Structure 1
Amino acid sequence: MALTRPVTLNGTPLSYVDFGGPGAPLLALHGHFGRARGWAALAAALAPGHRLLALEQRAHGRAEPVADVRPDAYLADAAGFLDHLGLGPLPVLGHSMGGAVAYRLAARRPDLVTRLVVLDAPARNEPPVLDPRPWPRRAATLAELHRLLAERVGPVTGYFLENAVEHPDGWGLLFDADTLLRSQWALLGDWWPDWLGSACPALLLHGEESTVLPTAQAEEMAARRPHTELLSFPGLGHWLHDEEPAGVARAVGAFLTGRHGLTGRSGLAGRSG
């Protein structure tokens, strides 16, 4: 049974979801606009061999408002979380911004990370960013919020609707638009030293239709970092774990257990670097 537990990291009250089970622990880090509970499908697919622990990161979900959304603040939270629970070293998985936190954690705290799984997170993060300020603030029903949000973000609406809650004046999203806009801008730039700064085995999962991680950069990331396998999924975009959860879960499970011959959504072999 999944349990949400409070945790205070670096003076900031946060929370995490412990999906439970007898398996080896695995840390999962969501991306911008994500939620810890968004890893539920992956946690179920990896059980009982793995016990997934998902940190709800600062400025996300029901976390209290914070001013500091620099990449180093997210990194300190992830390291502090593992130190707090005394769980390292263990595999760490992250999507997008969470993927950057994961590979920076592996570089800065190699004592905490045994294997690295990165979902569509670039080593060099370029604009544009996703501006949520024009998104609907309130809607009369959840269905109406879904419809209005779909007009903005398209078919990946479910990822963002993990933030949907009912307020006294209607349905809305939990995150603060201005804060997450600042957080995205803070992540822009060159993170190649951190991507190349660890030596543990790594799996880079990439959606070939992604607008965040270009295929050419994904291939360069795998080629330049030793012990890295690139698995590209044709037809999928940046939110590949929401678009093809079963395929992503199979790839992650195979990597965590040391199996090889990973295949993408259309049966194409992942590229190795």
Structure 2
Amino acid sequence: MTYPQDTAAATRHYFSSGDLTLSYLDFGGDGERVLLLLHGHMNDARVFTKFAGKIKGLGWRVLALDQRGHGWSGHSPEKDYSRASYVNDVLAFIRDVLGGQPVTLLGHSLGGLNAYQFAARYPQYVNAVIVEDIGAEIQADLSFVTQLPERSPSLQALRESLVRVGVRAVDYFSESVFEDERGWGFRSDLQGMLVSQQNCNGSWWEDWLASTCPILLIHGKKSFVMTESHAGQMVARRPNTQLAVFADCGHDVHTDDLEGYTQAVTGFLQEMGK
């Protein structure tokens, strides 16, 4: 398949979810169907820019949230990064911004958990779900974020701060940063990320099995988050679920193999539309 372009311009907009003002990017697109993208911890909506450029010319309007505590969205003063709050943010977006139009959800890591939990709770708003590299049983540690500096004197120094606390996926965790008069910092609510991950940890089999819509589970075989065996269990236990395994990819398949990732997603979307 020939894709229309490799990058996508986007317009930024804002909406309210409870007491927080949240941001989203509208990448446009030439279709009535909506693909809503949800990023992972320490990332933001722009991580999907290249992918959106390939998808939006194939009959989809592509939108991406900056989830609470990330990107240009508000940080919760109460450190409210609960499962219910993330899901309610998606609900507020669909109801208030899209007027209740059902969407196809694509979520990476944190976003993948939010996507399949949203589908379990609000199936009337979900046509299908694409889950990138997150399991039904989660046990991860983001405690290193409490050791990161509030500002670094340079982008290189910021990246070195990640190395010092033992992070190997430096590119992944330094994706969403900014510079101001005080130096370079992370756009994410660092203290909130620890709370968020703690709230993600646990067994979510009930949510994974609750929905009936089509799901594509994408797994990077070199992932530090889940195993291929666990991915296989998720597909075996849930009807109407497909698995795409990328042997040479890690946790962020959309970065490690953009072409293969796009082919897997577009193939699933085309099959779903038959």
Shorter-chain TM-score above 0.5: yes
One of 2, 5, 14 as aligned partner of 1:6 = 14
Contact kept, 8 Å, 2:141 with 2:197, in 1: the verdict is: no
Please state if 1:74 is matched with 2:91. Answer: no
Which residue is equivalent to 2:261? 248
Stretches of structure 2 that go unaligned for 5 or more consecutive residues are: 1-8
Instruction: Report how far residue 113 of structure 1 moved.
Output: 0.6
Once the two structures are overlaid, the 10-residue window that deviates more, 23-32 or 197-206, is: 23-32
Q: Is the 8 A contact 1:126 1:189 kept in 2?
A: yes
Partner of 2:210: 197
- Aligned partners of 1:71 and 1:244: how far apart in 2? 29
The reply to whether residue 20 of structure 1 matches residue 28 of structure 2 is: yes
Query: Partner of 2:3 in structure 1?
Result: none
Query: Which of 106, 113, 116 pairs up with 1:100?
Result: 113
- Alignment-derived partner of residue 167 in structure 2: 153
Aligned to 2:67: 57
Contact 2:36 2:105 in 1 (8 A): yes
In the TM superposition, what are the counterparts of 1:103-118 in structure 2 within 5 Å? 103-118=116-131
Partner residue of 1:131 out of 127, 133, 144 = 144
1:210 aligns with 2:223: yes
Q: Percent identity?
A: 38
Distance, in Å, in 1 between the alignment partners of 2:10 and 2:74 is 22
Amino acid at match of 2:25: V
2:99 is the counterpart of 1:86: yes
Which amino acid is 1:62 matched to?
A: W
Which residue identity does 1:14 align to in structure 2?
A: L
Shift of 1:87: 5.0
**Which portions of structure 1, spanning 4 or more consecutive aligned residues, are displaced by more than 6 angstroms?**
none
Partner of 2:244 in structure 1?
A: 231
Q: In structure 1, what residue type is equivalent to 2:65?
A: L
Q: CA deviation at 1:257?
A: 1.0
Instruction: Give the TM-score taking structure 2 as reference length.
Output: 0.88
Deviations 1:17-74 (A, max 9, x none): 0001212210111111110111111101112122211111111123222121101100
Mean Cα deviation higher: 248-257 or 170-179: 170-179
Alpha-carbon RMSD across the aligned residues, in angstroms, is 1.9
| Letter matched to residue 89 of structure 2 | D
Structure 1, unpaired ranges of 5+: 260-273
Counterpart Cα distance in 2 of 1:69 and 1:171: 24
Taking the aligned partners of 2:259 and 2:100, their CA distance within structure 1 comes to: 27
Work out the CA distance in 2 between the residues paired with 1:157 and 1:40. 19
Other structure's SS at 1:19 match: strand
Out of 166, 177, 183, which is 1:170 matched to?
Answer: 183
Deviation of the 1:143 alpha carbon: 3.5
Tell whether 2:54 aligns with 1:45.
Answer: yes
Report if aligned partners of 1:38, 1:159 keep a CA contact under 8 Å in 2: no
Contact 1:116 1:200 in 2 (8 A): yes
Determine if the alignment matches structure 1 residue 119 to structure 2 residue 132: yes
Structure 2 CA distance for aligned equivalents of residues 62 and 47 of structure 1? 23
Q: Report the 3-state secondary structure (helix = DSSP H, G, I; strand = E; otherwise coil) of the residue aligned with 2:90.
A: helix
Aligned AA (1:7): F
**Mapped partners of 1:81, 1:131: distance in 2:** 31
Distance 2:119 2:26 in 1: 22
How far has the Cα of 1:86 moved from its partner? 1.7
C-alpha distance in structure 2 between counterparts of 1:128 and 1:179, whole Å: 13
